[in-house]
Amino acid sequence: MKNLALARKWRPKNFETIVGQEFIVEALKNSILGDRLHHAYLLSGTRGVGKTTIARIFAKCLNCHTGSNPTPCCECSSCVEIDQSKSIDVIELDAASNTQVDNMRELLENANYQPTSSKYKIFIIDEVHMLSKSSFNAMLKTLEEPPEHVIFILATTDPEKIPVTVISRCLHFNLMQMTNDEISGQLQNIFYEENIAYEDEAINMISKHADGSMRDALSLADRVINYTNGNVSLEKLTQILGITSDGVIDELLTNILDNNKQKVLDLLNKLKEHHISYESALKVLSEKIFAISEEQTFGGGNKSIQRGKQVSLQLLQTLYQISINGLKDLPFSPSQHIGFRMTIIRLLNFIPTNNVNAIQLEKEQINHNESIENHEPKKKKTIENIQIDNWDHVVDQIKPGMAKTLAQNCVVKSQEDNFLYLIVDDRFKHLNNDKYIKILEESLYTIYGEKIKIEINEETVTSTPAQKKQIEKDDALKVATDSIKTDSKIENILNEFDAQIIESTIKSTKIN
Ligand SMILES: [Zn+2]
């Protein structure tokens, strides 16, 4: 028994040991208890979620010699034979290898005979969507007038491919993918029972890699156990999977965003030494970029993302697109290694050289917003809070109008007690009048709860909020222009039609 694969050994034998799928299990149990059985059930769901396992348990419930009930005895000859796939009254068919109508006719002829030693004759047809059209037609005839003792349990990964005439005669259950937590929990139980040492991180990685399939999780666990002689460690697991631990990709992405080329190169060389799967590395990288975007859009999602790492959403979109394209292009690259490195180079090329400033600027914005959202008793803001470098944020809070335009074209020169001295850009000096200054003073009173006197001088200035916004827009336009110029699809179109890009028509989608 020691060498029996975990997936087979730990296959649930009754409804109580099934992990997840509570609603379906409950519905099937109730249909037995209430004696409301259908002649055909359809179980759909991705591979490895337990469709045939549930089908077999249901068959045991129906045919148990102690009488149909939701908790089969698992000891009578019917239960034991179903567990061993030997029951003469439970016929299992894999449609993937029996698509011909003859097989189906043979099967359905069998349906007309009474069960040999049980209450029902049960047909479990796996991957039923693979049946040919004529096989489905043959089946439909039986489904339309099913013999009293016949029950079909159909399983499929692709219900879309089953004719609606068949689906409409089935009670359809869609099995949910198992969550990572459900898989992790089950793995912990099994490892404990099997006396296998494990690391929590390794369990988490197996769950993540199994992508909702308990069967995949267990077969991966089997591989690690065989490879390590019963010690499931993260290090061995990453070797088997040919993947990197998340930490290395985190570090790589951080340094790409910081435009730290030397460190990126060091990491690339380090990755090469470890013979990783570049496909999985690119997938993890895309996941990380997605996670940052999600964190920035909805907030509070992924705790593993450093909040300090603020990059514009537009840039993240571009980076995501590049890494996904890199993944698609990987099979066409001279080698996986070159394909991966090329993608990293493209990512680096799209990091604006002023990104460090952009990060700083956005950090301030975030901190600022957080302080506004903070529900703790607010510290009273005073004139000391208005600093030259947060004038932009003050301006953002002023209501739109000419006074705001005036503020947008001013910089703070100095401040003294409750006096604020500003300089207005020469070109906007016509707005420098008492009416707008009064509105600005009122706005500051609303923001700071304190009377602040404003005095504005006229000079040539170059760093007003409006001017800074324009520079940001120019940068965004440059990124957009670069991305169009380096896009291989656009290049193909240009060559194909002998066309030209009119640069003046390019617009950045960043909304300001
Ligand atoms: Zn039984």
Distance 62 CA to ligand 1 centre (A): 9
Distance 75 CA to ligand 1 centre (A): 5
CATH number at residue 442: 3.30.300.150
Q: Is residue 382 part of a domain?
A: no
ipTM over 0.95: yes
Q: 458 and 441, same structural domain? A: yes
Q: 262 and 144, same structural domain? A: no
Q: Rounded to whole angstroms, how far apart are CA atoms 250 and 287?
A: 10
CATH number at residue 108: 3.40.50.300
Distance 83 CA to ligand 1 centre (A): 10
Place of tokens 């004759």: 121
Q: Is residue 378 part of a domain?
A: no
Q: 476 and 432, same structural domain? A: no
Distance 36 CA to ligand 1 centre (A): 20
The per-residue pLDDT for 473 is: 84
- Beta strands 171-174; 121-126: pairing state: unpaired
Dihedral sign from CA coordinates of 225, 228, 230, 232: negative
Last residue of one domain, picked from the residues 223, 241, 259: 241
Q: Is residue 408 part of a domain?
A: yes
Q: Is residue 373 part of a domain?
A: no
Distance 67 CA to ligand 1 centre (A): 8
Distance 92 CA to ligand 1 centre (A): 18
What residues flank ion ligand 1 with Cβ within 5 A? Answer: 64, 72-73, 76, 79
Q: 166 and 19, same structural domain? A: yes
Q: Is residue 283 part of a domain?
A: yes
State whether residue 138 is helix, strand or coil.
Answer: helix
Distance 12 CA to ligand 1 centre (A): 15
Q: Residue 140 is encoded by which pair of tokens?
A: 């439909």
159: left (phi over 0), alpha (psi -120 to 50) or beta: alpha
Q: 81 and 40, same structural domain? A: yes
Last residue of one domain, picked from the residues 122, 156, 174: 174
Tens of pLDDT along the chain (512 residues) come to 345 688 888 999 999 999 888 999 999 999 999 999 999 999 999 988 999 999 999 999 999 999 999 999 999 999 999 999 999 999 998 888 876 656 777 888 888 889 999 999 999 999 999 988 888 988 898 899 999 999 999 999 999 999 999 999 999 999 998 999 999 999 999 999 999 999 998 999 899 888 889 999 999 898 888 888 778 888 888 888 776 666 788 889 988 988 889 999 998 988 887 777 888 889 989 988 998 888 888 876 555 455 445 678 888 888 999 999 999 999 999 998 899 999 999 999 888 765 444 444 444 444 555 444 444 444 444 444 555 457 877 888 888 888 888 998 988 888 777 788 888 888 888 888 888 899 888 888 777 777 788 888 887 777 788 887 888 888 888 888 888 888 888 888 888 888 888 877 887 765 44
Q: 225 and 298, same structural domain? A: no
Domain containing 396 equals 387-463
State whether residue 310 is helix, strand or coil.
Answer: coil
Q: 501 and 451, same structural domain? A: no
Distance 421 CA to ligand 1 centre (A): 90
Distance 418 CA to ligand 1 centre (A): 88
Distance 65 CA to ligand 1 centre (A): 5
Q: 288 and 407, same structural domain? A: no
Q: 236 and 149, same structural domain? A: no
Q: 218 and 253, same structural domain? A: no
Q: Residue 241 is encoded by which pair of tokens?
A: 């999977």
The per-residue pLDDT for 307 is: 40
Total number of domains in the chain: 5
Q: 285 and 411, same structural domain? A: no
Distance 127 CA to ligand 1 centre (A): 27
